Chains A and B, each alone.
Chain A
Amino acid sequence: MDDNAIVRLFWERSETALSELSKKYGGYFISVAERILYNHEDAKECINDAYLKTWNAIPPARPNVLKAFVGKIVKCVAVSMLRANTAAKRGGSEIALIYDELEECISDTRSVENEFENKQIIEKINEFLWRCSELHRRAFVLRYWHCESVSAIAERLDVPENKVSVSLYRTRRRLKEYLAKEGFEL
């Protein structure tokens, strides 16, 4: 079933919407949640919560890219669960590595609190990524949005792992410089 048809089911308040959503993207959502939570049972619980939030969000929302829309909800729920999940924080999960890497984009002078400013920063991140070369852009998004491992990214893009690592390093550094130039320091 295509995404528009699934969204239509949500709007019709048909519970088939959730089963169709799960059938099409359930495996992907579970793998994303597992990369963050490092625990299959927690990931399943996370997905259930995310589906409930999706059910409440559509309508009124009418997402253009359903996978990304629900994926964002899944990751938000997973991060909330992670805060309470000390086992995952102790290490071993992909998210622990991702957090370490993202620290490089952050200055130690202030924190981001303002919602309006957050939106502006997201816009700047979008701008920055669209300006990147295809390799840098896709590697960055696969790593920090899809939470894929470096080896998985290398396999997907058919380039050496070292090249992915260098690309991520450069993009993180440039993102920090770009945001600073635009007046944002995280």
Chain B
Amino acid sequence: MKAEKLFLLINEIDDRLISDAERTDYSPVEIEYVSRRSPIKEIIAFAACAAVLIIGVFTVVKLRIGGIDTPSDSGSRLEYSCSDDMSDSSETSENIPVIDEEFPDVTQIKLPAGSFEEKLRYIMLRAATVEALESGIAEADTDGLVSEVSVTKKTDKTEYFKTGEPVTEGAIKDDMFVTVTLVDGVRFRYHVGYVFESSEQSVYDFGREFNEQLEKLAREAETLGGFKAAVAEYDEYKWTDEIHLYQNRDDFEKGIELTDDNTVLEKGMCFYIILQSGNVKAVFEI
């Protein structure tokens, strides 16, 4: 029986994981993805340009301008309408209007086809009114995964994600925020007409990709100072908060740190790097 085999494989996991699970000091912490993007004006201007271009061309399958992915079926939310049939299989995760020239890899989430999350995104992107949004989500959420749905007006032009006055009925317009929170704290947010994001997926994908790059830089660097310089050059958006180096994992666990930038990096040394204000942590050995 394959399930039994997997059960026996899981039986052999790291002893530390087994002990860790039984700790008594758990306190739920919600991971919140905090975007550090440029002022909204630039994005709005860029979005407007893209919309004009797309409307002028009339038919666009996949337009890429300066790193911007534009949907194959449309380039503007104006062309979306709230459909009674929310399960149109022709729509895939490739067809979402993501406009994010600064962090395409970070914010362009990839959701598995046919998943509840993908259906959720489909509804959020197309709902023209608050009523349509709520009824669409209520119909799709057969397992009770959604804990909160909200639509809010954007009030502060300098803070991209700051939400304002709730909108409880009527049309959902550009520049509003549609936010859906699941019972496990994962949050999906659509800045209407601009960006769709998931707190969970963006942090997860970001951490994985960034971690791989850090490991690569660590293998290439000769000294701690050299590694820090390489990270500084790569990390142009300043995601990295702290870099710590240890002689080995034992020292890491004991907190015995190597701090001299002239320290020559050797095989077996252990890096502990804190990213995104502690939301992502990378631990790896050279």
* 10 A-B pairs closest in CB distance: A141-B21, A65-B15, A99-B3, A68-B15, A68-B18, A102-B3, A138-B21, A166-B184, A126-B14, A106-B2
| Distance A145 CA – B12 CA, assembled complex (angstroms) | 9
| Distance A157 CA – B28 CA, assembled complex (angstroms) | 8
A residues lining the B interface (CB < 8 Å): 63-65, 67-69, 71-72, 75-76, 79, 95, 98-100, 102-103, 105-106, 111-112, 118, 121-122, 125-126, 129-131, 133-135, 137-138, 141-142, 144-146, 156-160, 162-163, 166-167, 170, 173, 177, 186
| Distance A142 CA – B10 CA, assembled complex (angstroms) | 11
**Nearest B residue (CB) for A110:** B2
Residues of B within 8 A of A64 (CB): 15
**Nearest B residue (CB) for A98:** B7
Q: Are A145 and B11 in contact (CB under 8 A)?
A: yes
Residues of A within 8 A of B45 (CB): none
Q: Are B28 and A131 in contact (CB under 8 A)?
A: no
| CB of B65 closer than 8 Å to a CB of A | no
| Distance A158 CA – B29 CA, assembled complex (angstroms) | 12
A sample of 12 inter-chain contacts (CB < 8 A) reads: A72-B12, A75-B11, A98-B3, A103-B2, A125-B10, A129-B17, A134-B29, A135-B28, A137-B21, A146-B18, A156-B26, A162-B144
Least Cβ–Cβ distance between B200 and chain A, in angstroms: 8
Could you tell me how many residues of chain B have their Cβ less than 8 Å away from some Cβ of chain A? 36
| CB of B4 closer than 8 Å to a CB of A | yes
Least Cβ–Cβ distance between A163 and chain B, in angstroms: 5
Q: Are B17 and A65 in contact (CB under 8 A)?
A: no
| CB of B182 closer than 8 Å to a CB of A | yes
Q: A167-B184, A186-B5, A186-B6 are in contact. Are A125 and B13 (CB under 8 A)?
A: yes
| CB of B16 closer than 8 Å to a CB of A | yes
| Distance A68 CA – B17 CA, assembled complex (angstroms) | 10
Per-residue CB contact flags for chain B residues 1-44 toward chain A (1 = under 8 Å, else 0) read 11111111111111111111111001011010000000000000
Number of A-B pairs, beta carbon distance below 8 Å:
117
| Distance A167 CA – B186 CA, assembled complex (angstroms) | 10
Residues of B within 8 A of A156 (CB): 26
Least Cβ–Cβ distance between A131 and chain B, in angstroms: 7
Q: Are B183 and A141 in contact (CB under 8 A)?
A: no
Least Cβ–Cβ distance between A167 and chain B, in angstroms: 6
| Distance A76 CA – B8 CA, assembled complex (angstroms) | 7
Q: Are B20 and A125 in contact (CB under 8 A)?
A: no
Residues of B within 8 A of A131 (CB): 207-208
Residues of B within 8 A of A76 (CB): 8, 11
Residues of A within 8 A of B2 (CB): 103, 106, 111-112, 186
| Distance A69 CA – B14 CA, assembled complex (angstroms) | 10
Q: Are A130 and B12 in contact (CB under 8 A)?
A: no
Q: A79-B4, A79-B8, A99-B1 are in contact. Are A162 and B13 (CB under 8 A)?
A: no
Least Cβ–Cβ distance between A27 and chain B, in angstroms: 14
**Nearest A residue (CB) for B20:** A138
User: Which residue of A112, A141, A177 has the most chain B CB atoms within 10 A of its CB atom?
Assistant: A141
Residues of A within 8 A of B6 (CB): 102, 105-106, 186
| Distance A118 CA – B1 CA, assembled complex (angstroms) | 15
Residues of B within 8 A of A68 (CB): 15, 18-19
Least Cβ–Cβ distance between B182 and chain A, in angstroms: 7
Least Cβ–Cβ distance between B148 and chain A, in angstroms: 14
Residues of A within 8 A of B138 (CB): none
Residues of A within 8 A of B11 (CB): 72, 75-76, 145
Specify which of B7, B15, B21, B144 is in contact with A99 (CB 8 Å cutoff).
Answer: B7
| CB of B229 closer than 8 Å to a CB of A | no
